[in-house]
């Protein structure tokens, strides 16, 4: 059970860490972790924080829209950096270290931009739970000396959600998200077309009322993952037909439901089994 006093101690420690930077740029995606980190940075160093949004094909447009709306509401200075991931050497081939290749380029760009603004530190929002999954991108962060204050204060996802709720952040109960490239199996080519198909299908499922979802791209087949408590909605024949017909319009011949339900890092299972 999480104690309130422990939460306060960690939050206060986080504020002090960020205060020690004096000026900082924050990698911002609009998700639970980066929104909480940015809010704390605003509290700690005020207008000395700058939010960076990297706009790519594997970031859904709805996430970009929500991120910008939050920044403008909170009156936080921000910069949108456009980047074509296909320009990152090796990314499109989708190797097992794809996340490393991507984060290395993205955070190098952010670090260079930050220095141009006279900001010596770049912060990102990975948390303690991220250490439990295969995250090759973390190595890139270490190499570039990117700061990860949420991990430094040993904040878990659940703790971040609780503190976000206390701060009045709407993201406190936002489903976990990841870039669209994680929906494509390792070794299969990543294209704009595939990413767009995935984004359209996931948007459609959200419009139907599903929350924590993934649409995995397996060639002509789309594999849907939802939380177990939402699976019952998919047993309705009318809903099944609507989804199947829509997915066919997008380009999938077949649509399947993963009976194992949603799992964070599900595409990494093949790596675990191999090892």
Catalytic residue among 49, 99, 102, 179: 179
- Domain residue limits at 209: 180-274
pLDDT along the chain (275 residues), means of 10: 91 97 97 97 97 90 93 95 88 95 94 96 94 83 96 96 97 92 96 96 96 96 96 94 98 97 72 53
Last residue of a domain, one of 122, 152, 173: 173
179 has catalytic annotation: yes
Same domain, 139 and 246: no
pLDDT score of 272: 47
pLDDT score of 268: 65
Same domain, 202 and 250: yes
Residues in the chain: 275
Same domain, 159 and 33: yes
Same domain, 45 and 158: yes
Last residue of a domain, one of 173, 193, 221: 173
Q: Are strands 213-218 and 122-123 parallel, antiparallel or unpaired?
A: unpaired
Same domain, 102 and 211: no
- Write the CA distances from 146 to 72, 97, 193, 245, 252, integer angstroms: 25, 18, 32, 45, 39
Same domain, 37 and 96: yes
Same domain, 88 and 32: yes
Domain count along the chain: 2
The CATH number covering residue 240 comes to 3.30.300
Q: Which residues of 54-78 are buried (b: 16+ CB within 10 A; e: fewer)?
A: bebbbbbeebbebbbebbeeeebeb
- Adjacency order of strands within the sheet including 254-257: 213-218, 221-226, 254-257
pTM of the model: 0.91
The CATH number covering residue 138 comes to 3.40.50.620
Same domain, 14 and 86: yes
Residue labelled with tokens 């220095």: 115
């Amino acid at each position: 059970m999480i104690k309130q006093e422990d939460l306060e101690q960690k939050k206060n420690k986080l504020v002090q860490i960020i205060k020690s930077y004096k000026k900082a740029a924050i990698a911002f995606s609009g998700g639970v972790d980066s929104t909480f980190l940015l809010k704390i940075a605003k509290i700690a160093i005020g207008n000395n924080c700058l939010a960076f949004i990297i706009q790519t094909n594997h970031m859904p447009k709805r996430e970009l829209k929500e991120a910008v709306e939050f920044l403008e509401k909170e009156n936080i200075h921000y910069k949108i950096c456009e980047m074509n991931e296909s320009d990152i050497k090796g990314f499109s081939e989708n190797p097992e270290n794809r996340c490393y290749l991507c984060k290395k380029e993205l955070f190098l760009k952010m670090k260079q931009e930050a220095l141009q603004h006279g900001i010596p530190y770049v912060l990102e929002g990975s948390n303690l739970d991220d250490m439990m999954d295969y995250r090759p991108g973390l190595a890139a962060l270490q190499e570039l000396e990117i700061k990860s204050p949420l991990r430094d204060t040993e904040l878990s996802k659940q703790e971040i959600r609780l503190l976000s709720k206390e701060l009045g952040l709407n993201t406190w109960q936002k489903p976990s998200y990841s870039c669209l490239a994680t929906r494509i199996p390792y070794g299969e080519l990543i294209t704009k077309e595939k990413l767009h198909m995935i984004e359209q299908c996931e948007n459609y499922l959200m419009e139907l009322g599903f929350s924590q979802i993934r649409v995995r791209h397996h060639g002509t087949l789309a594999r849907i993952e939802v939380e177990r408590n939402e699976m019952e909605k998919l047993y309705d024949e009318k809903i099944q037909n609507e989804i199947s017909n829509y997915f066919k319009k997008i380009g999938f011949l077949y649509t399947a439901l993963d009976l194992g339900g949603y799992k964070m890092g599900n595409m990494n299972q093949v790596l675990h089994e191999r090892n």
